[in-house]
Structure 1
Amino acid sequence: MIRRLLAAALLVLCAACGGGQSAAPTGSGGKAVTLGFSAWPGWFPWQVAQEKGFFAKNGVTVELKYFDSYTDSLTALATGNIDANSQTLNDTLASVSGGARQTVVLVNDNSTGNDQIIAKPGITSVAQLKGKTVAAEQGTVDHYLLLLALRKAGLKPSDITFKPLPTDAAAAAFKAGQVDAVGVFAPFTTTALELPGATAIATSKDFPGAIPDHLVVSRSLAADRPEVVQGLVKTWFDTLTWIGANKAEARTIMAGRAGVSEQAYADYDAGTTIFSLADNLEAFSSGSLEKQAKEIGAFLIQSGLADTSPPLDGLLDARFVQGVSS
């Protein structure tokens, strides 16, 4: 039922997924860099950065590429079709396990409730998923959350019927009553919870620190054009400062990109904890990120999602957040 982590097959998928990507110049070979992001509250500030000109202010020319499919963004970075992407730590480890050379240069946020396992009426606990059908995007972050929740409840992956679907399709299938539960992240949680009586029976809030989200760049971009990476990281913190001073306008921009109402977007606030510069400096210097990476790698092996521990050498690069503060 559960095969290896998605990223182990990313290189095989290159031809299929690469066809949908743009042919913009990349960071290692031209002036512009292509930065990918997808539907997650902690990544929508990139839309603000683009609309308010913060990339140009920091001397970087960026093609900001929005992916309707999060999986496609992971594949695009792993196969070199983009230079940088916002993605979770566990999905980055998946790509590294599959042979991709990637580096984490920034912590965007920690998921503190916006990743959820949502069940139909009558199911009020993870233990009650035994024998039920649960949908999620295979090998990505909410599949990981589902496995964490099952283990905590004393269930094995084989105790459920897992239905692999892209996140948007999984939310729609659950709303239509085609599955008993679903693992989704905001804003797709809003779709799933439109099923009358549906409730979240487990969230990322139950697993503190398990789902950190990052700006991840190709190893070659960090090595060959560090000034570009520095500009991206500086842009992020400039954007957060602007958002803090212009909350209403920022929310309008981010809700528009998310395709939800401003009130719905406001409801996501508690479920995503944005990391400040001080938070970033602490995360990189304290060893907490490396500790999380080791724990996630071990869990992926124990759960049958990976064969070997992903190599951590070169995975974390603190110099860019340190460069902002210097």
Structure 2
Amino acid sequence: MSMLIRAGKKSFGVWMIAISLLLTLSACGTSGGTNGGAASGTAGGKDTTVPAAKPQEPAKEVPKELPTINVAYMPDIHGATPIVLGEEKGYFKEAGVKINAVKFLSGPPEFQAMAAGDIDIAYIGPGATFLSAQGKGNIIAVDSLNTGDMVYATKKSGIKDWKDLKGKTVGVPKGTSGEMILNLGIKKGGLKPEDVNAVNMDVAGAVSAFVAGKVDAVAIWSPYTSEIEKQVGKDNIVKLGDNKMFFPEYVFPQSWVVNPKFLKEKPELVEKFLAAWVKANDYRIKNIEETIKLTAKYTQVPEDSLKVQVDTTEWIESKKQVDYFKDGTVIKWYENLEKLFVENGKLTEVVKGDTFVSPAPFLKVVK
């Protein structure tokens, strides 16, 4: 029996040690509690309070990603410069948007990209305006008025006047402002469209075909006209006409258009884009030399070619554009172009300009 008592005391002692360890571990665990407070107790009459943990610093806010707008531009002083300046001067960042700039060489492919949902906002020349009139893009700003569309003939073709285009082959990117001038010239020469072999080519193809002598004439615009002059030589070219020949009956506005769906669903982003665009537009007009250098660097188009474009452009300051929107001048410009599109079969009828010209975002931004 004494042996059992001794065994029991030994067992009891082991249990007491185990319990003591558990209590100690428990006390240690409490000091690191998630509430950040202090764990306290006494041992042998001594205060064993554990100092409170330092409060954690609040997590740094991760900068929110700015919303992105997919913008179609053309590599020239009109269609690229607002994007270049908007990025270079920080106008888009100030407005709270990012720009994904996508290069195009003419308007119709841009409208196709908008229809597919790949492009939100685009720059177009006068020739693609009929697609806006068809409801495929709302005009939200007038970039400028253009006088740089031209029809050139090779000297060896024997073409000296519009009437001489009869039976000749002309390279032209259809649906562009170049085609508009060509059609006006055909009419001025007393011809019908079917009298001329107008071959649809992309911009690069039309320029190459003219330089290689594969077409008799080309309907194109600046700065590509400058490139043609460099490669062929001015002495080997006959200029049949440009936009100025048809003033004041026709004015040729170059525009910024928005995907109708994008305008409906994200009007605030359209306004942000325009807020930056307005600053870029006005800066361009006042600082044209710097603008040329920055645009040349971005587009890889020679500065000389861009300077030629400046000479064939009528710029419109943003506040002046507000006046043109309010007094109906802009609407008249586009409705007048529609008449030309009806004559050429691009449109079946003239629709009211306010069905595809949307000045509200611009007027809201420029007060």
Q: TM-score range by the shorter chain?
A: 0.7 to 0.9
Correspondence for 1:221 among 258, 262, 278: 262
Give the CA deviation at 1:170.
0.3
Correspondence for 2:315 among 254, 274, 290: 274
Amino acid at match of 1:127: K
Secondary structure class of the residue paired with 1:138: coil
Correspondence for 1:297 among 314, 317, 338: 338
Correspondence for 2:245 among 182, 188, 206: 206
CA contact (8 A) 2:111 2:131 kept: no
Correspondence for 2:146 among 89, 98, 111: 111
The TM-score normalised by the length of structure 1 is 0.82
CA distance in 2, matches of 1:69, 1:321: 24
- Provide closer, same or farther for how the CA distance between residues 190 and 232 of structure 1 changes in structure 2, counting only shifts above 3 A: same
- Provide closer, same or farther for how the CA distance between residues 56 and 92 of structure 1 changes in structure 2, counting only shifts above 3 A: same
User: Which consecutive unaligned segments of at least 5 residues does structure 2 have?
Assistant: 1-65
Q: Percent identity?
A: 24
Amino acid at match of 1:298: K
The TM-score normalised by the length of structure 2 is 0.73
1:88-140 residue CA offsets vs partner (Å, 9 max, x unmatched): 3441322542x52x21110001102x111111114332222122111101222
Secondary structure class of the residue paired with 2:355: coil
CA distance in 1, matches of 2:284, 2:337: 32
Match of 1:88 in 2: 125
Map residues 1-326 of structure 1 onto 2, 5 A cutoff: 31-45=67-81, 46-68=83-105, 70-97=107-134, 100=136, 102-112=137-147, 114-121=148-155, 122-193=158-229, 194-196=231-233, 197-208=236-247, 209-244=250-285, 246-310=287-351, 312-326=353-367
Amino acid at match of 2:239: A
CA contact (8 A) 1:205 1:271 kept: no
Aligned residue pair count: 294
- Who wins on radius of gyration, i.e. which is larger? 2
CA distance in 2, matches of 1:32, 1:176: 42
1:211-241 residue CA offsets vs partner (Å, 9 max, x unmatched): 2111101223223322211221221221133
Ranked by relative contact order (alpha carbons within 8 Å, sequence separation 6 or more), the top structure is: 1
Give the CA deviation at 1:180.
0.8
Match of 1:23 in 2: none
User: Which consecutive unaligned segments of at least 5 residues does structure 1 have?
Assistant: 1-29
